[in-house]
Amino acid sequence: MKKILAYAILLTMLMTFAGSAVSGSLLPDLDEVYGVDVPSFMNVVKREPDDEKETEQEKKEIYLNVNDSDYEAYGILLKEAGCVTESYLVRDGVIELNISCRGHSFSFTYDPENHTAEVVYPEGVSGIVVETASLAQEEQDPLSDREYMVFGSYPQQKDGEDRTPIEWIVLAREGSKVLLLSRYGLDAWQFHHKGQTVTWGRSSIRNWLNYNFLKSAFTEKEQSAIIVTNVDNSKSQGQEGCRLSGGSNTKDRIFLLSYHEAFRQYLTSDAERICYPTEYAAARGAYESRYYAREKADSVWWWLRSPGDPAIYNYAWYVNYDGTDHNVFVYSNPGTVRPALWLDLDSAAFK
């Protein structure tokens, strides 16, 4: 009950003190966006209601498979619209809210135990899918202009019994050679198997990528097309404030991106760096967060090869759920793995 009450208080605070869109916001004028309608819950769940009921007095939309992140995201959207909570009630674990938005009132009910939500609009009021600047950016795939290709195969279903082709993002081209990054997080591993000072060259994850993953994901013919890369682990590849290099350069077929490659060279926006896991990676322990996701899926954090903490070598950088940077202890819980590799398209493997 304390948790349910906290949800209601959170939404009340979000909306009661909002008043209007924050000054300096990138959002367009709300008067032009919303008109006489109120923001629809479809802005959050990105799908039509699972059921609808309509009478002469009201219209009810029913949504299934709703979670706490959806609830919180809707509260933020309503805050941006200048909505306020007129009243709320927690009854048998279900949160019932009466909301006033731009001169109109409607009710929103969330059942966290059964993962359902209901929105009831009175006659003359309807929910509108809001095309604000921020939502339009979420709907547009930031990698839509990228080139993709399929190469190798790896388990991607939850049970791990499949051999599904791996999708890759083409990050760069040099003649017949292409730099590839897996489109999805393919697995989950610790950076190193014990808590000690370590760089990429001696890490457990490097060994796993260049032996276990290499042999599992690619046939011998496909392996012959993967270029042995001189991987730059110098200080220039790390975060600008870090005083450490990433150790000696290494020669690898499979590697992780460096901080510089992920944040300065190939993926230059947070949205481009947001990653989603395969079902297999999620089952293997990839840490997920729906809060930042553009799609109806959970985004994950994923490893980079650069040392993290500016003063010690037992931290490594990673890309967070929202595409920003963070660093963590190398022996922490399994992080998502997005392999990278250089491929020779003139190889006999493609003849």
Please compute the mean of the pLDDT values over residues 191-218 and round it to a whole number: 92
Show me where the domains of the chain are located: 2-139, 147-350
Which of 15-19, 79-83, 126-130, 160-164 has the lowest average pLDDT?
Answer: 15-19
264-272 long-range contacts, Cβ below 8 Å, gap at least 24? 266/171, 266/172, 266/179, 266/181, 267/171, 269/142, 269/323, 270/322, 270/323, 270/324, 271/137, 271/142, 271/323, 272/142, 272/143, 272/323
Q: What is the pLDDT of residues 301-314, one digit of tens each?
A: 999 999 887 656 68
CB atoms within 10 A of CB 213: 21
Going by pLDDT thresholds of 50, 70 and 90, the confidence category of residue 28 is very low
Q: What is the pLDDT of residue 175?
A: 92
pLDDT tens digits for range 248-277: 999 999 999 999 999 999 998 998 999 999
Instruction: Locate 117 and state its tokens.
Output: 């939500």
Of 68-72, 144-148, 247-251, give the range with the top mean pLDDT. 247-251
H runs (alpha helix) in the chain? 2-16, 30-34, 42-45, 68-80, 133-139, 204-207, 214-217, 220-223, 259-260, 270-273, 279-283
Confidence of residue 289 (pLDDT cuts 50, 70, 90): low
Instruction: Give the residue with greater pLDDT, 138 vs 340.
Output: 340
Residue 245 has pLDDT above 50, yes or no: yes
